[in-house]
A and B are shown apart, each in its own frame.
Chain A
Amino acid sequence: MNIPELRDHLCAIHPDLCPLFSIEFGDGVLSVPCEKLYDAAADLRELGFDRLGMVTAVDHGTEFEMVYRLHSRSMSAAIFLKCGVSRDEPRVRSLVDLWPAALWQEREAYDMFGIEFEGHPDLRRILLPEGWEGFPLRKDYCDDRVVRRPDYI
C-alpha cells in the first residue's frame, strides 16, 4: 500500500484523524496533540499497524517531539506518529499496553531526554549507569568531562 492509498484508507475509517495526516519527505506522518496520542495509537493498532519499529524523541529547543515509527505487515505500510511535548513538564502516556516493544524504547527515551512515560511499569535508565545526572541528548546538557572539539580538527 503506498502513501496516498494509506491516507485514503485512514480517512475512510477514521475521519477525525484525516486532517492530522500529512506527507513529509515521502513518508506518511500523523501529528497529533499529546493528550490524544494514546487514542490515536490505539486506532492505528486496530487499523493494522501491529509492529512498533522505533520510539525516539527530538529536542527542538522550545519543545520535545515524540516520534513513533509504526509498521503494518498486513498492509505493507509504515507511518510516523508524532506529538509535541512541553519542555517544562515532559510527560506522555506510555504505549506499552499496545506494543510491548515500547518497554525498552521508552526507557531509552527517558534515559536520553528525561521524558516521563505515564503507565510504564519499569521506567529507569537503560544505557547510562544508575545515578547519572542529567539527560545527555538534551540540547542544554552540560558535562564537565566532555572535551570540546577544537575548530582546527
Chain B
Amino acid sequence: MALVDRLGQTLDSGSGGGIILTSVDALANWSRGKSLWAMPMGTACCAMELIAASFNKFDFDRHGTFPRPDPRHTDVMVVAGTITRKMAPAVKRLYEQMADPKWVIAMGNCAISGGIFYYDTYSVVRGVDEFLPVDVYIAGCPPRPESLQDGVLRLREIIATGSISPDRVREAVLTLPSSGAVSFGKRPGEGEAR
C-alpha cells in the first residue's frame, strides 16, 4: 500500500492490521501535493520552458501536474514571464479566481525581481511578489524544465507542512539545497517519507 508507506510516522496500524489511523492533515496534504494542477501564467520566454515541461520529454503529468485552461480548476499558478504594470491587474484577477488552497510559483528572473528589466524601465513590475504571495522562486533566464519540476517538488514539501485547521501550521521540514555541486539522479531527501 503506497499510501501507508508514504504517510510514515503519522500512521498507526490498529490491532489486527485491518484499521489505519492517521491525521486528517497528513491525508489532506498527501492528496493535495500529488495533484497540483497548474495555471500557466506564461507571458514571456519562460512560457516556452513551461510548455516544454508539460510535453512528453519532461512529462510533468507523472508528478500529477499539468496545465489547465481555467483558473477555477487549478491549485498552483506558475507565473512564467515578465509582468507589466498593465498586466498585473489581470494576473491578480486570475489568482483571485483560483479556488483555495492555492499556491504561486514565480518562475524565472522576471517573475522574481523584474530580471533584466529591473533598471531603467517604467512599465515592468519588479517581482510578482509585489502583489501575489509567492511560495517558490525558481531562478533562471529562463530556468530549465528540470528546475520547474524541482520547484514543484519543493512546493510539495511546503504543502506537507500545512494544516486544514486555521492558525495551525506544522513545523517546516524543508530540505535546503546543497551548497556543493548539484547531484543528478538523487535529490536530497529522496526516498524518505514526506
Question: A residues within 8 Å of B by Cβ?
Answer: 127-129, 136, 141, 143, 145-150, 153
* In-complex Cβ contact of B123 among A136, A147, A150, A153 (8 A): A136
Whole-angstrom distance from the CB of B113 to the nearest CB of chain A?
11
Contact, CB under 8 Å: B85 / A149:
no
Contact, CB under 8 Å: A136 / B119:
no
Majority secondary structure, B binding face: loop
Whole-angstrom distance from the CB of A133 to the nearest CB of chain B?
11
Contact, CB under 8 Å: A128 / B123:
yes
Q: Compute the total of residue contacts between A and B using a CB distance below 8 Å.
A: 23
Complex CA–CA separation, A130 to B120 (angstroms): 22
Contact, CB under 8 Å: A149 / B119:
yes
Contacts of A148 in B (CB 8 A): 119-120
Name which residue of chain B comes closest to A125, CB basis.
B86
* In-complex Cβ contact of A128 among B86, B118, B119, B126 (8 A): B86
Complex CA–CA separation, A127 to B123 (angstroms): 10
The reply to whether the CB of B184 lies closer than 8 angstroms to some CB of chain A is no
Contact, CB under 8 Å: A147 / B119:
yes
* In-complex Cβ contact of A127 among B86, B118, B120, B121 (8 A): B86
* In-complex Cβ contact of B122 among A141, A149, A150 (8 A): A141
Q: A129-B85, A141-B122, A148-B120 are in contact. List 10 more A-B contacts (CB 8 A).
A: A129-B86, A136-B122, A136-B123, A145-B122, A146-B120, A147-B119, A147-B126, A148-B119, A149-B119, A153-B119
